[in-house]
A and B are shown apart, each in its own frame.
Chain A
Amino acid sequence: MVTTTSPVKAESRDLNFYYNGGHKALKGITMPLYEKRITALIGPSGCGKSTFLRCFNRMHDLYPGNKYDGQIVMHPDNTNILDNGVDPIEVRMRISMVFQKPNPFPKSIYENVAYGLRVRGERSKRVVDDKVEEALKGAALWDEVKNRLHDLAFNLSGGQQQRLCIARALATDPEIMLFDEPTSALDPIATANIEELMSELRNKLTILVVTHNMQQAARVSDYTAYMYLGELIEYDDTDRIFTNPSRKETEDYITGKFG
């Protein structure tokens, strides 16, 4: 899938993470995310892949007692987004996230997508209208909802709700988008839609996706990282990881001997 090498968009450098209570959930993770590429994180439950993903938008800051140790550096500005001096809100304005279960607000479809812009203080109705339309088109939802933008988001199906959440994350033009097992609550058809959408989004932004489903990683990603017990075991081109992994542990997991 990877044709040319791409610049590094962000890299984690020797990242350790401790949950409140001292449990060390990430152990010295060092890996790059390439610009406009999809990087997948795979590994058994509890291996730290979601924990790692949630470091990228400082979600752990919402709960007291969590501690980062190490760096995640964003390019081209070389900002260490884990630095105490960097406001997590600034980080979340640059890096958006799509969650495991669709979590639209109990508001209208329009207001869901517009929320990121409202938070940024955008008042012009024309700008918001345009951005909402653009984001919904980007999330392949526009045609299904354009005539009922002011309906409640809960009236959409599960797959549509998840695409709405992608539109919400897209509306603010993020540099990186995080996906935390985005299809685990969806049926196969909705899953296929989301995967197709991710491939399209690759033209616009950098994607990091946690997935429980190895086939999904193989289908959509350019790079794959295999994690186990908080460590990064192997990181390589997706094709390499799935056809010719260099580590025995990766091979065991890929082939289903374990996990």
Chain B
Amino acid sequence: MAKTPIAFSLNGMERSMFVDPGQNLLDALRRGVGDLSPKYGCAQGTCGTCSVLVDGKLQLACITLAEAVAGSSVTTTAGLADGSELHPLQRSFMDNFAAQCGYCTPGMLMAAKALLDRNPSPQRQDVVEAISGNLCRCTGYEPIIDAILKAAAFMRTRGRP
């Protein structure tokens, strides 16, 4: 099967790889590059646990063709922290018990980051809408919503550390 060479930026680092026709971005990231932070949940674009940012826009890696990110900038949860300094969202998820099994967490964090990047002062309803494409089965949504709102408040007062 003919493979296509692609180059893209992943969490600020240049990557190049060969992808199969039809190969999705989730598989390319996980098995091709070894970034295991986006998770497989449904491969149907319904659960949100594979969410990543492509040029700052929230996308589901399982229904994005790997070829389509050529030349783009991709951000995953693995690139959220600044070195050893956690992103305020990550810190807030820890402090507010916003993860139990942790499997939906990377997708939740990406959806939250996409929201805060475009709206630093979200209302509760904005947060609910922002994570409406992300399913969680154990934690429950309330601690996650609280964590996102608290991270937003922290970032407004202190700025990003």
Partners in one complex: no
Question: Footprint of B on A, CB under 8 Å?
Answer: none
Question: Footprint of A on B, CB under 8 Å?
Answer: none
